[in-house]
Amino acid sequence: MGCCFSEPVDFDGEVNLYHFDLHRAVGKGAFGKVRVVEHKRTKKLYALKYIDKARCLRQKAVANIIQERRLLEEIDHPFVVNLRYAFQDDENCFFVLDLMLGGDLRFHLERKGYIQEEVVRFWMAELSCALEYLHRQRIIHRDLKPDNILLDAMGHAHVTDFNVAIHYSERRLHTSVAGSMAYMAPQVVNKKGYSWQIDWWSLGITAYELLFHKRPFDGRNSEKMTQSIMKDSLQFPEDATTRCSDHGIMALKGFIDRDPATRLGCRPNGQGIEDIRHHPWFLGVDWDGLEGKESQPPFVPDMKQANFDVTHELDEFLMVEKPLTHSKRKANPDLDKMKPELRQLEEQFTVYDFSSMNRMSYYPHNQPIVAIGTESDNTDRTLAQSTTGTIVPTATIVERSQAGSPIFESCDHHPIPSMPNGTHGYIAS
């Protein structure tokens, strides 16, 4: 789909949808589609994630959208799907992101049945670099899973979807339940308090699933899954040794360790990454070449075919959904007459343009954004539910933090290992 707008585009003004040509849909989220777009001046291709404001309001997700927008402005890393532009019109909020045409890991897992060990090890090394970077930025992703890891055309892995990501505090642990239950660490499901160490557990569960096409802890409902995560011993399939080396099994056991103090990747003061780099499973990795994207990925997606569900485009073709079109904004909207949540989006989902603006950190001014005039602080919210009412293994769940989050000094919890060199102010764009 191209643009039929005849007036010249003002590339010197604020970025908007008219700066882009719209191409095919490549994905679908909770609030809208993801399309390929081309910047008209630079001719560069990006992914456009757009969020229907009305649907966002109905699902009480304004706070999440603003939080994601702010966190993405802080992030710039080779193994993250980075934000390039952000803007809005009267109907949608837009994220323009790095384009990943290699598909997500769920897509490749379902197509292949399981992923070879050397491929999984390579992806885990790249993702370890991404997680270490995020944690240094004081960000917890909270929803790492195969669906949220995208490949570029070369086969490099990238973390995406920061919808439930948050800054962690140096002083208190988090108790809000967020993420996808099958990948949640015990510290999340038991609501006793957690910090950045939970991402390493999720990485281990992801690696296990890619290798064996099953997850180590499961249950038909949330209660049984919670019990499995909390108490079941870590078991491996009978044919595990045919798919994974002893060192690989040892790494999985290191990541999927219920104690965050001894979990692989979790040593205090940022030293956990050294434990990963020196782990026998990762000894063959050229870490310098890896971080510069100079290492050849052992799996390269087949770019002659679509690495995504091609039915996403069909919805618009069959008019199931209203197609995205370029539309001019109303001039000078009256904020006082807007619903509070819409006004919040208007004021806080600000324009971002990576070509002319520095990336800014909202830490330590990262007060939690509370949706105006909505549910109480301890209301559970599920962003994606199955129609049968059973838990969806990959659905993202959000529950607000309890006011009485355990404080850092509490004797019931391990001290929160600090991550050094957290960025304050600005980082390079």
Query: Mind telling me the catalytic residues?
Result: 143
Element (H, E) at 38: strand 33-39
- Asked if residues 149 and 244 have their Cβ atoms less than 8 Å apart, the reply is no
Q: How many Å apart are CA 76 and CA 158, to the nearest integer?
A: 12
> Is 49 annotated among the ligand-binding residues?
yes
Count other Cβ atoms within 10 Å, centred on residue 166.
19
The C-alpha atoms of residue 191 and residue 174 are separated, in whole angstroms, by 8
For residues 99 and 247, give the distance between their C-alpha atoms in angstroms, rounded to a whole number: 34
Contact yes or no for 144/183 (Cβ under 8 A)? yes
Enumerate the β-bridge partners of residue 144. Answer: none
CA angle 143, 148, 152 (to 5 degrees): 150
Residue 206, classified by CB atoms within 10 Å of its CB into exposed (0-12), middle (13-18) or buried (19+), is buried
Q: Which residue has the tokens 């899954």?
A: 225
* Cβ atoms within 10 Å of 288's Cβ, excluding its own: 9
Partners of residue 39 on adjacent β-strands = 20
Contact criterion met (CB below 8 Å) for 253 and 205:
no
Closest C-alpha among 374, 360, 399 to residue 189: 399
